[in-house]
Amino acid sequence: MSWLPGILLATSVNTLAQPEPAGPKAPRYVEGELLVKFKGGPKGEAAGRVKNALKHTVKRDFDAIGWQHIQLPPGLTVEEVPARYKNDPDVLAVEPNYLLPP
Residue 86 has what pLDDT? 87
CA–CA distances in Å: residue 42 to residues 13, 21, 50, 54, 55 = 48, 39, 11, 15, 15
pLDDT digits (tens, 9 = 90+) for 7-22: 333 433 443 444 455 5
Residue 10 has what pLDDT? 41
pLDDT digits (tens, 9 = 90+) for 30-47: 999 999 999 999 999 999
pLDDT digits (tens, 9 = 90+) for 51-81: 999 899 999 999 999 999 999 999 888 888 8
Q: What's the fold here for domain 29-102? A: Alpha-Beta Plaits (3.30.70)
Q: In this structure, are residues 40 and 46 in contact, taking their beta carbons and an 8 Å threshold?
A: yes
The mean of the pLDDT values for the chain is 80
Domain ranges of the chain: 29-102
Residue type (1 letter), 23 = G
Residue 83, pLDDT > 50, answer: yes
